[in-house]
Structures are given as C-alpha cells and as structure tokens.
C-alpha cells in the first residue's frame, strides 16, 4: 500500500435546508427554524437550523414532538427545487477544482484532489478555497474536512461544525481517533456499539487495541472493516457518479387513502415524476416495485419487470397499476414506487417484434398496435416536453388526469416539484 | 411378468423414455417407467404429464409371462446401460423386479402400477400422414427461435398450422421469428381449428423418435393435445395455452433495401466481429454500400473489429445492427449457398430468406440519440 497522502476532502453544508431559508428571509435570523412537514399531517422534521437544535430538535423527529420541545419553532415546507438548484451550484464549484467528486446527497460530497496541486495548491489550500467560494457564490457556510481517506475526511468535517475546517494529517490520525467513541466509525450502529461495550470497548482506541482476529470472530466481515477503520485504514476511493441502482418516490399520506381511483392517480403522479428524473439523468429502467403500507404499519412490496427498459411514465404506470391490483383492498398509509434495472439511454437496445410483451399479457390487455405507436411517439416527443418542463416548470406539461390536482405532499413536506 | 430382451434395444427404449421422465417430481410416481409386456411386444411408458411417450419393442424380445411393472426409470436405464451381456432378463417376483444379465443382476423396488397415470393411445382417426423428414426438418428450421426465458408462456413452443396442403411451423421469442412450411398430403382436410402451440420439449421428443427420415409418421390433433405415431413410438404433448402472437403482421411484405451474400462467408465474418462485442446488448452493425458489406462490432471493455465482404447490393448506402448470435442461429440453418437480407429502416425488422419457404425475421438493435 502506498503511503497515505492528504488528498481527500469531505465538504458538508451546515444545516443546508434551514440555512437556505434563512439566507432568503433575513427576518428569520436568530429564530429556531426547521424545514419539514406540518404536524397535523403526521409531519416529520427533515432539517433543523442550529437555533432549533439547541432545543433538541433534529431531523426525522415528528414535527409534533419538535413543537413540544420548542413551542416557538418555525416549520417551513421544504422547497426541494430551490435546494437542488443551490446544490447544483455547489457541485459545480467542486468540479471546477477536481473531476473526482462523489456526491453523497444534495449538500455533501467527497472530493479527491490528487494531481490538482499544480493548478490549485495542496488539499488544504483547495479546501479553504472551496469553502470561500461556496460562501461567496451562495452565501452559505460549509464545513470542510481534509484527510488521507474518506473515513477521516468525514470525521474531520464533523469535528468542528458548524463553519468548520479541520485537517487530519496521516501522522496524527491515530491520536485523533483514540479518544473518540466507537459510534463515530462508519458502520458501527447502536447494536454494534452495544456489543462492543459488552467487550469493554467504548473508544476507537480501545477497539484498535483488540486483536484483529478477535474482532473478526465476533463481527465477521464487519469486524475486519471496523478494525481497519479504527486504525485509520480506509482504502475506499472517491468514485465520481456513484452508480445509482434505483429511483424511488414514496409518500406517507396525511390521511390513509382507501379509494383505488385516488391511489391510482398518486401512482401516475409518482411514475411521471420518476420517469422525468430518469430522463434527466439519461437513464431507463426496467423493473417496477410498488410499496404499500397499511394502517397497521404492515408493509408489502410487489415487483414486476417490463420486457425492455424505458423512461416513459405511462409504461411504468401500467405496470404499477397492475401491481396495485395485487395489494389487498385496505386503506393505505403509504404508497411508493421504485424503479430499478437501470441502463444508460445510450446502451444499444434490442428491438421487439410484438411491441410489449404479448406472452405475459393476456390478449385483451395487450396494448393495441395503435397504443404502441402512440407510446413510441410519446417517447420521441418527451425530449421536447422535458425541455419545456425544465424551462417553465414541471407542471407545464402533465397528464390530463392530474390536471387541477395538488401534488402529493410527503411527510417531511417534500413534494414533486411543479 | 417375465421377459427376455436384447440389451441394446432395451437401453435405447429406456433412453427415449428418460427424455420425458423427470428425475425429481412432486409426484414421485412420475420418476418411474411403466413396463408392459404383452404376448407380442414390450412397451415402455413414461410421462411428466405434459409430454408422454409410449415406446414399444417388438423385435429381439421373448415374453415368457405377460404383465406390468413400474420401476425407477433412471436406475433401470443406468443399470442396463452399464451391463455387458447381450440379453437382459426382467422378472417380477412379488414386490421386486429382478434384472439379470450374464453373471450380473439387481433387484429393483417396484411401485404400484395402479398409481401410474394413464397415457392415452394414439388415435389414427383423422390423423395426417407425412414423412418423418418433412416434420423434423421444419422443427429444425424453427424451434431454435422459440423463447427460453420465463414469462412468455405462449412462445415456449412451436406453432403448428395445417392448411392449403401445407404444414407450417412458426417459433419466436419476441426478438426473432422463424417461419417455414412444406407441402404435405392433407387429403383436402384442414388442420386443427385452434392454433396449436407444441412445447419445445415435446417437439424435441417427436424428432428423437423419428430416427428414419423416410419413415411415414402420423400426426393427430385432439383437444389440448397433439400426438404422433412412428413405427416404434407414440408421443403425446399437451398443447400450450395462450395466444401465439400475430406473427403475420410482423413479416415485412416489401422492403426498400435488399442484398444477397454468400451465407457461409457471412456467418464466419459475423462470428469474427462478434468476438469483440460485449456480453450484454451484443450488436454487429451491417453497413451496405454498392457491392460491399462492412460488419463492425465494438464494446467499451474489449475494443472494435471490422470485417468486409463482397455482396450483391445496389442502392443508397444504408445500415442496420443485429445481435450476432441471432443472425448466426439463422445462417447455420441456411439451405442455399446465398442468403438474402431485406429491410426498410435500421429500426424495422430484418428479413432473412434462408431457403425455399423459409423466412427468418430478426429485430434490429438500435441506439437512441
């Protein structure tokens, strides 16, 4: 193994959603602020500002509970379209320094700046420059960690948040790690932490002091992994364009929905939204998975694959509808669609003799040749329609059956952009 | 029951029956072969309830004591195969079946013959008579195109149609389609009123028992079932339910572009170029210019290859891409020295004429944007 060098950056925006809202409405300054769903609608907090965090409010907490902790809490509905736009700008800044950018979410990414030194200076200088550039261009504050591996870089960015800038040099890595609780290790959750505690291990230093074989015996492959990390060993590389395996969209309803017609309309909405996102990323999908949660929280999934990959919403919808038929007729608390079996639109595609799958469908259900041609036309004009949607908003062109309907709002207040 | 039988004849009969008999089944009785000895013949019956065979041996046997026995089919076949002597003696004593040959013998457990499913007898009434070779060659020209992957039930077989003095077979997996027909003597009768889709497995067994191309065989369609009778065997296959796709609609009547190429050379060049194409979505591009065909293939992980050959082509340059395996499958069966390829656009079906009354349609591979 080559000697570790300081080339990995982890950049994490501070209270991203809340900070954007704060930036856009200065009257909110100094007030406890969160973004999320309304408490009346089983809402949950999706992000809390620092002021609100002082009261113990954190993400994934039911809004009602957050309100109890902090009665004066201001809960704003999330504006994902706005956050996405800011995120794009930030990612653009990253990519102006290095092509090796691995986004983890809208507001967080790993960067590998090896080989960029001649252009922009060393990793520490680049980290400072990025932090400054983000502030200058977006008015937002980021925390930056610089280290020799992903694990240490992420640890570093977290160490003096907010507005942090922390460098962990290879030679100081073990000293930094030693006193930290084991839960700081990526992969050590509550359960593993408890099991480690039973072994008398609370800190990373104590874990590192254990024999590797002992840890492996107790925890299997995870054991090898956490033992390596405890020694600051992490060979994961920064991989730009993380391969996405599926696209999904699910919503917990503010009130359980029993009407099949209503559920079908939601499905159409989800499928259209997912299809747009697929096209936006230059992908197609083949497999449709429907997720349904009943009032008693029992959750089931149903899956079916198309004979080909596509990114036309109604094709997914026709499968999703079929899958909904296989879900018992009870009120649903949550409905979701996930698309997998992704391929690039540039992948060559085998043509089919009979359009859709005549073998799998009963004759009366098979789309007529006219329907097939209509779908093929839709596939071709989508490029133009998407252009309109991006320019004038997603709602510029929508299926007629969704006209005049408000988009389904998620529990955390998110909704499909319109 | 007590029978003497030439070992080789018995082995062949067991081999045929074992084509159908499952090695494992939720109904264990089906893993057995039913042996029936009558005064003049020995009959072996096997079934998986979808395909059934009744194979008789009427030469090289001597029935001493007629009777019926049901024994494990695989074990019996393997034991008989590995014997060295000329003649095998089968004798049932109580609940065991003894197999003796020279100095070697075994006792097999038997199953209750009453439990063995009833396999129908061939009904010659209303059957068509044809030459075995006609039948097997039509199967060979089409069955390879039938679907193999799950979920396309009606395509897991060969569509058999009889009419206008022709026997026609069609098979498709939705991406390519093979269609062939041959004249038979229908005596002005038409075939089954419903389209009959014979499962691929049944077709294979039909061909297996038609060892002599010049033999005359009988073909009979009944409700939900098709049967054939050869000199030694009767085979029945349950027809596949479901609707076979409307195949005639996808066969292009007229094509704008057509070329003729030497089939053997084309097959070789396609294989050559296919070597560099990837594992998934394999494609070889056919680019035509007057008198020339260029074949190109590439994949991100392997590289690119080109091959050229002279062809008979006039007209504006055009191109189309196919899965090389599909094209090669058809060319292997090409019956004339030259193959003719016709197509309209690079997104519309390619039509290969592989011989007289033999058409092979392959959908192209297209790249968006």
Please report, for residues A264, A393, B310, B350, the alpha-carbon distance to residue B257 in angstroms, rounded to integers and kept in the order given. 46, 44, 16, 10
Confidence at A349, pLDDT banded by 50, 70, 90:
confident
- In the predicted model, is pLDDT for residue A417 greater than 60? no
User: What is the Cα–Cα distance from B42 to A239, expressed in whole angstroms?
Assistant: 70
Q: Which of B153, B157, B245, B326 has the most A C-beta neighbours within 10 Å, making it the best mutation to test the interface with A? A: B245
Confidence at A316, pLDDT banded by 50, 70, 90:
very high
Residues A381 and A299 grouped into a single domain: yes
Query: At which residue do the structure tokens 């030259």 appear?
Result: B338
Confidence at A109, pLDDT banded by 50, 70, 90:
very high
Q: Which residues of B touch A369 (CB under 8 A)?
A: 249
Average confidence (pLDDT) over B128-143: 94
Residues A127 and A225 grouped into a single domain: no
Please report, for residues A314, A369, A376, A396, the alpha-carbon distance to residue A399 in angstroms, rounded to integers and kept in the order given. 9, 21, 16, 10
Residues A190 and A87 grouped into a single domain: no
- In the predicted model, is pLDDT for residue A111 greater than 80? yes
User: What is the Cα–Cα distance from B170 to B247, expressed in whole angstroms?
Assistant: 8
Q: How far is A380 from chain B (nearest CA, A)?
A: 10
Residues A137 and A203 grouped into a single domain: no
Residues A50 and A84 grouped into a single domain: yes
| CATH number of the domain to which A79 belongs | 3.30.70.270
Rounded to a whole number, what is the largest CA-CA distance in chain A? 71
Confidence at A415, pLDDT banded by 50, 70, 90:
low
Residues A164 and A203 grouped into a single domain: no
Helix (H, G, I), strand (E, B) or coil at B179: strand
| CATH number of the domain to which A196 belongs | 1.10.150.20
Residues A62 and A97 grouped into a single domain: yes
Residues A94 and A195 grouped into a single domain: no
Residues A52 and A164 grouped into a single domain: yes
Sign of the CA dihedral with B312 first, then B317, B320, and B321 last: positive
Question: For residue A10, is it within any domain?
Answer: yes
Q: Which of B174, B277, B351 has the most A C-beta neighbours within 10 Å, making it the best mutation to test the interface with A? A: B174
Question: For residue A160, is it within any domain?
Answer: yes
Q: Strand B303-310 vs strand B292-299: parallel, antiparallel, or unpaired?
A: antiparallel
Q: Which residues of A touch B153 (CB under 8 A)?
A: 359-360
Helix or strand run (H / E) with residue A82: helix A80-95
Question: For residue A240, is it within any domain?
Answer: no
Q: Which residues of B touch A348 (CB under 8 A)?
A: 281, 283, 321, 365-367
CA dihedral A188→A191→A192→A197, nearest 10 degrees, is 120
Residues A220 and A270 grouped into a single domain: no
Helix (H, G, I), strand (E, B) or coil at B75: helix
When CB atoms are compared, the residue of A307, A345, A350 closest to B363 is A350
Q: What is the pLDDT of residue A413?
A: 65
The domain total for chain A is: 3
- In the predicted model, is pLDDT for residue A363 greater than 90? no
Residue A334 neighbours by CB distance under 10 Å: 18
Q: Are B109 and B191 in contact (CB under 8 A)?
A: no
Q: What is the pLDDT of residue A1?
A: 43
Q: What is the pLDDT of residue B199?
A: 93
- In the predicted model, is pLDDT for residue B166 greater than 80? yes
Residues A85 and A218 grouped into a single domain: no
Residues A221 and A137 grouped into a single domain: no
Q: Quote the Cα angle for B245-B250-B251, to 5°.
A: 125
- Reported as a single tens digit per residue, the pLDDT across A193-247 is 898 888 888 999 999 988 888 888 888 888 888 898 998 888 888 887 656 688 9
Question: For residue A407, is it within any domain?
Answer: no
Q: What is the pLDDT of residue A3?
A: 62
- Reported as a single tens digit per residue, the pLDDT across B307-332 is 999 999 988 999 999 999 999 999 99
Question: For residue A321, is it within any domain?
Answer: yes
When CB atoms are compared, the residue of A345, A352, A363 closest to B368 is A345
Q: How far is A236 from chain B (nearest CA, A)?
A: 23
| CATH number of the domain to which A343 belongs | 3.30.1490.100
Q: What is the pLDDT of residue A11?
A: 96
Question: For residue A414, is it within any domain?
Answer: no
Instruction: Single out the residue of B196, B219, B197 nearest to residue B207, CA to CA.
Output: B219
Q: How far is A320 from chain B (nearest CA, A)?
A: 18
Q: Which residues of A touch B281 (CB under 8 A)?
A: 347-350
Instruction: Single out the residue of B205, B158, B175 nearest to residue B50, CA to CA.
Output: B205
Question: For residue A241, is it within any domain?
Answer: no
Domain that holds residue A54: 1-171
Mean pLDDT score across all residues of chain B: 91
Q: What is the pLDDT of residue B281?
A: 62
- Test A350 with B155 for CB contact under 8 angstroms: no
Active-site annotation of A, residues: 108
- In the predicted model, is pLDDT for residue A359 greater than 50? no
Question: For residue A33, is it within any domain?
Answer: yes
- Test A348 with B365 for CB contact under 8 angstroms: yes
DSSP secondary structure code for residue B243 in this structure: P
């Amino acid at each position: 193994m080559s000697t570790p060098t300081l080339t990995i950056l982890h950049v994490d925006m501070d209270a991203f959603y809340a900070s954007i809202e704060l930036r856009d409405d200065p009257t909110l300054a100094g007030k406890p602020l969160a973004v999320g769903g309304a408490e009346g609608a089983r809402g949950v907090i999706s992000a809390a500002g620092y002021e609100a965090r002082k009261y113990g409010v954190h993400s994934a907490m039911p809004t009602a509970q957050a309100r109890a902790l902090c009665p004066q809490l201001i809960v704003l509905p999330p504006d994902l379209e706005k956050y996405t736009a800011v995120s794009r700008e930030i990612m653009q800044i990253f990519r102006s320094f290095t092509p090796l950018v691995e986004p983890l979410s809208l507001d967080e990414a790993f960067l590998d700046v090896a080989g960029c030194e001649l252009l922009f200076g060393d990793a520490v200088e680049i980290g400072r420059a990025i932090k400054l550039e983000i502030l200058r261009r977006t008015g937002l504050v980021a925390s930056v960690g610089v280290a020799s591996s992903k694990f240490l870089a992420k640890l570093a960015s977290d160490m003096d948040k907010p507005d942090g800038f922390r460098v962990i040099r290879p030679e100081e890595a073990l000293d930094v790690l030693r006193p930290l609780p084991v839960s700081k290790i990526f992969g050590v959750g509550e359960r593993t932490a408890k099991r480690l505690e039973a072994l008398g291990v609370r800190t990373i230093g104590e874990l590192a002091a254990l024999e590797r074989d002992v840890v492996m015996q107790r925890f299997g492959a995870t054991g090898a992994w956490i033992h390596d990390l405890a020694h600051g060993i992490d060979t994961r590389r920064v991989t730009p364009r993380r391969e996405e395996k599926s696209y999904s969209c699910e919503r917990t309803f503010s009130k359980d929905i029993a009407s099949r017609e209503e559920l079908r309309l939601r499905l159409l909405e989800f499928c259209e939204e997912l299809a747009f996102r697929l096209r936006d990323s230059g992908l197609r999908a083949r497999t449709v998975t429907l997720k349904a949660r009943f009032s008693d929280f029992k959750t089931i999934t149903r899956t079916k694959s198309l004979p080909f990959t596509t990114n036309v919403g109604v094709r997914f919808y026709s499968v999703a509808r079929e899958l909904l038929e296989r879900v018992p007729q009870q009120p649903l608390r949550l409905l979701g669609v996930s698309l997998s079996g992704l391929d690039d639109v540039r992948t060559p595609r085998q043509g089919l003799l009979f359009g859709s799958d005549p073998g799998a469908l009963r004759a009366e259900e098979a789309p007529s040749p006219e329907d097939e041609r209509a779908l093929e036309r839709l596939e071709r004009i989508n490029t133009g329609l998407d252009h309109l949607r991006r320019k004038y908003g997603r709602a510029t062109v929508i299926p007629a059956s969704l006209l005049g309907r408000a988009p389904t709002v998620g529990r955390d207040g998110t909704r499909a952009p319109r | 029951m007590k029978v003497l039988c030439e070992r080789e004849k018995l082995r062949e009969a067991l081999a045929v029956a074992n084509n159908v008999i499952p090695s494992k089944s939720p109904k264990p009785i089906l893993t057995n072969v039913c042996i029936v000895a009558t005064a003049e013949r020995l009959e072996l019956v096997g079934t998986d309830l979808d395909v059934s065979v009744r194979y008789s041996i009427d030469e090289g046997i001597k029935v001493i004591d007629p009777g019926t026995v049901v024994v494990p089919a695989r074990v019996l076949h393997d034991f008989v195969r590995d014997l060295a002597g000329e003649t095998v003696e089968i004798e049932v004593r109580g609940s065991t079946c003894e197999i003796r040959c020279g100095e070697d013998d075994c006792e097999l457990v038997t199953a209750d013959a009453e439990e063995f499913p009833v396999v129908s007898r061939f009904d010659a009434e209303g059957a068509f008579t044809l030459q075995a070779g006609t039948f097997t060659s039509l199967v060979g020209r089409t069955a390879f195109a039938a679907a193999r992957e799950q979920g396309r039930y009606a395509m897991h077989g060969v569509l058999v149609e009889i009419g206008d003095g022709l026997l026609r077979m069609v098979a498709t997996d939705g991406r390519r389609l093979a269609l062939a027909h041959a004249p038979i003597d229908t005596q002005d009768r038409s075939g089954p009123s419903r389209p009959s889709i014979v499962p691929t497995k049944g077709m294979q067994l039909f061909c297996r028992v038609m060892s002599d191309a010049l033999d005359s065989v009988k073909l009979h369609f009944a409700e939900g079932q098709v049967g054939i009778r050869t000199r030694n065997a009767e085979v029945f296959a349950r027809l596949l339910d479901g609707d076979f796709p409307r195949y005639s609609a996808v066969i292009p009547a007229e094509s704008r572009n057509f070329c003729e190429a030497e089939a053997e050379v084309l097959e070789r060049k396609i294989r050559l170029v296919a070597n560099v194409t990837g594992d998934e979505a394999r494609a070889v591009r056919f680019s035509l210019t007057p008198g020339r065909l260029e074949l190109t293939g590439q994949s991100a992980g392997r590289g690119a290859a080109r091959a050229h050959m002279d062809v008979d082509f006039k007209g504006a340059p055009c191109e189309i891409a196919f899965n090389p395996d599909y094209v090669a499958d058809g060319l292997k069966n090409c019956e004339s020295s030259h193959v003719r390829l016709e197509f309209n656009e690079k997104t519309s079906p390619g039509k290969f004429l592989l011989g007289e009354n033999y058409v092979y349609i392959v959908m192209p591979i297209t790249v968006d944007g």
